[in-house]
Amino acid sequence: MTTVIGVDVGGTFTDLVLHDAATGEIRVAKRPTTPAAPERGVLAAVDAAVPPDLLARCRHFVHGTTVGLNALLERRGATVGLITTAGFRDVLEIRRGDRDDPYDLFWTPPPPLVPRRLRLEVTERVAADGSVVQTLEPEDVRRAAEVFAAEGVDAVAIVLVNSYANAAHETRVAELLARAGFTGPVSLSHEVSGEYREYERTCTTVVDAFVRHRMGPYLHDLDRELRARGFAGDLLVTRSGGGALTLAEAAARPFETILSGPVAGAAATARLAATLGIGTAVAADVGGTSFDTALVEDGRLPLLYQGEVVGLPLQSPWVDVRSVGAGGGSVAYADAGGLLRVGPRSAGADPGPACYGRGGTEPTVTDAALHLGMIPRGHISGGIELSEDAAARALAPLAGPTGIDGVDAVAVGVIRIAAAHMAQAVRGVTVERGVDPRGAAVVAFGGAGPVFGCLLADELDVDTVVVPPNAGNFSAVGLVQADVVRSAARTLVRPLDDAALPVVGRLAETLFERLAQPEAVREVDLDLRHRGQEHTLTIPVRLEDDDLAAVSARFSEAYHRAFGHTLPDPLEVVTVRATSRIVLDDARPLVPAPPPAEQEAGRGTTRLWSFRQEAFAEAPVVRREDLRGVAEGPLLVVEPTATTYVDAGFAVEAHESGSLMITRKERR
């Protein structure tokens, strides 16, 4: 039994959850994020909720971070040099033949992270089967090292053609680069990816080198500060594909952590859905900056093996989480045509919404929710005192240019538009996958997720909304529940026939040896396709049990589910994927944390807007731990880190798991 801390850094708030498996104790904290130095917000949350003696007993500190993502968004990372095979210098600019937005005549691709003068070629060539066509010329590497030294290059990405099939030349280039005096970090493509597709592999390796410059120092500084406070356990960082990496692995493979924050909430949703027996669930994470959503079917997350950030592809396991700029801090404004708009720009943590009283003057979703009574008046987590007058002052100027009559109507419009943006994102992970969202349950979490649960239910025609325990910090709950996961992949293009599975098994064993987790649970997946096709479907296989017929049948079933038909064409293997997983702890902190001692015993009633009744009502405010039986809306359910808004036509009751179950009683 262990004590685990999970800390998730969001755009506005930094959330902490502590679970002591020995005693069952749960602690939560929410503190404003400090964008200029994220570790300060993390440490503030630790200092607020974890005394030194408890921190000293903590075995794992699991961290979800946006440092790597922010480095890409802001393009503030290392000065990267690229060494590649002669003739492939411009892969980063040639990209692919498609356009990210086919309807935008003025669309231009994002500039490459490495300028052309720092993309240098070396003479060498390896064929797709791993045979050496042309030997490496060492003098080319020495000349590249001289250029990098003169240009002040911090990190180098080495990407040679077909190195996934034979890495000898890449390894040799790294050795020659070090011998020539380069002392900075080096990213080797065969270690980063191990898959074919030269543009994607090159971009992924460059991203790894680019963000390492910020990620490594940040993690080591955080680790040092935690140990100064008495922490003696392991610092882990969540992966974009779920699970967690050790500190050393995260610093060495930072590209795997680009989306580590949003994934934790989706993983917690999958765990909760399995616990509650919910077949199809939609994660609805509303934070201060964004709305993040993912589809969960049968307790499984949708896992992709290539993602994209700001137009840059990454070959890495990737939970399919969609994000839109519709959070509590999203700014409302009137466009040039006088239409009311919301987001994607956010007031963020500094200065934050106008009602925070920290210098913000622009109207936000939080200001609208406060004006309508959807969040309780007074103090919120993090020691912030809300100002209704400041919220009204920020919203009032929108009435004139939009032609909307009064502040109340402006606030209603802001909330409805934000909910519509969220619902559209949900359709992107459901309808686009052939899943009808009406049959799903919405799991609403994040600081503002439970505020929008009923609104999303009406937008999507969903009958059930689940508000999990510790809803405001639920992404941090996902961190506490994370397993230690390592993965590796290797391209292996060959027909899927009777001789293929033994070859696949030997390659998978090689990959597991590289992952070096002999005590872990092993999982193998194959990227398969019909011969002659370009794209693949990823199919789980059990090499010790499956034969050719079983694998083929599983592919046909997945193909029919994805495309509505099957083909008689023969199959071929494209990539072998190996994943090893170590479960840290089986205890699941599903009960809500106790309320703080200073929380008021009762809240009485409040003036609350009902979107269904289109009027204000005097509605009860109930503490979550005091909720008994079935309560019908409109009402508010309050807890330390979140507020649940229950509209008219919905009813809420506490489930034995600690979740709130909101069900539709009347259709609109």
What single DSSP character describes residue 152? T
- Say which residue, 561 or 620, is predicted with more confidence: 620
Which amino acid makes up residue 71?
A
Q: Where in the chain is the domain with CATH 3.30.420.40?
A: 3-72+215-256
What pLDDT does residue 600 have?
46
**Residues 146-184: tens digit of each pLDDT:** 999 999 999 999 999 999 999 999 999 999 999 999 999
Q: What is the pLDDT of residue 72?
A: 82
Q: Are 194 and 212 in contact (CB under 8 A)?
A: no
* Contact assessment for residue 549 and residue 555, using Cβ atoms and an 8 Å cutoff: no
Is pLDDT above 70 for 668? no
Category of 655 on φ-ψ map: left (φ > 0), alpha (ψ -120 to 50) or beta:
beta
CATH of 3-72+215-256, one of 3.30.420.40, 3.30.70.260, 1.10.10.10, 3.90.1150.10: 3.30.420.40
**pTM for this entry:** 0.86
Let me know how long the chain is: 668
Residue intervals of the chain classified under CATH 3.30.1490 are 484-582
Residue owning tokens 């616990």: 275
The token pair that represents 637 in the structure block: 């359910």
The answer to whether the beta carbons of residues 193 and 204 sit under 8 Å apart is: yes
Write down the pLDDT at residue 352. Answer: 86
The conformation of residue 12, written as its DSSP 8-state character, comes to: S
Cα 392 from chain centroid? 33
Tens-place pLDDT, residues 378-430: 766 666 788 999 999 999 999 999 999 999 999 999 999 999 999 999 999 99
Task: Please tell me the predicted confidence (pLDDT) of residue 589.
Answer: 47
Helices (H) and strands (E) in the chain, counts: 18, 36
Distance of CA 328 to the CA centre of its chain: 18
Lowest-pLDDT range of 175-189, 314-328, 614-628 = 314-328
568 CB-near residues (< 8 Å, 6+ apart): none
pLDDT digits (tens, 9 = 90+) for 330-361: 999 999 999 999 988 888 777 889 998 888 89
Residue 602, pLDDT score: 47
Characterize 476-501 residue by residue with b for buried, 16 or more Cβ atoms within 10 angstroms of its Cβ, and e for exposed: bbbbbbbbbbbbbbbbbeeebeeebb
484-582 folds as Dna Ligase; domain 1 (3.30.1490)
d(CA 33, CA 351): 11
Q: Read off the pLDDT of each residue in 306-331 and give the average, rounded to a whole number.
A: 87
318, 258, 239, 327: which is closest to 289 by C-alpha?
327
Task: Identify the top-confidence range among 17-31, 349-363, 482-496.
Answer: 482-496
Q: Are 180 and 168 in contact (CB under 8 A)?
A: no
Give 88-138 pLDDT, tens digit per residue.
999 999 998 877 778 888 888 889 999 999 999 999 999 999 999 999 999
Q: How far from 127 is each of 132, 144, 252, CA to CA, in Å?
A: 6, 23, 28
Q: Which range among 171-180, 270-279, 469-478 has the greatest average pLDDT?
A: 171-180
Q: Please give the pLDDT value at position 601.
A: 41
Token pair for residue 112?
């490459």
Q: Is the pLDDT of residue 593 over 70?
A: no
Q: Which of 73-87, 272-286, 306-320, 503-517 has the lowest mean pLDDT?
A: 306-320
Say what the pLDDT of residue 586 is: 55
- pLDDT above 90 as % of the chain: 63
Q: If residue 501 lies in a helix (H) or strand (E), which one and from where to where?
A: helix 500-515
Q: CB 181: neighbour CB atoms within 10 A?
A: 11
Distance, CA of 80 to CA of 235 (rounded, Å): 27
Rg (CA), the chain: 26
Note whether 162 and 128 are within 8 A (CB).
yes
Please state, in angstroms and rounded to a whole number, the distance separating the CA atoms of residues 334 and 346. 15
> How far out from the chain centre does Cα 63 lie?
12
Alpha helices (runs of H) in 75-157, residue ranges in sequence order: 91-94, 138-151
Averaged over 561-577, what is the pLDDT? Answer: 92
Average pLDDT over residues 504-521: 91
Q: Is the pLDDT of residue 1 over 90?
A: no
Residues 481, 2: Cα–Cα separation, whole Å? 12
- Report how far residue 218's alpha carbon sits from residue 254's, in angstroms, rounded to the nearest whole number: 11
Residue type, 81: G
Amino acid letter, residue 586: D
Neighbours of 107 (CB within 10 A): 11
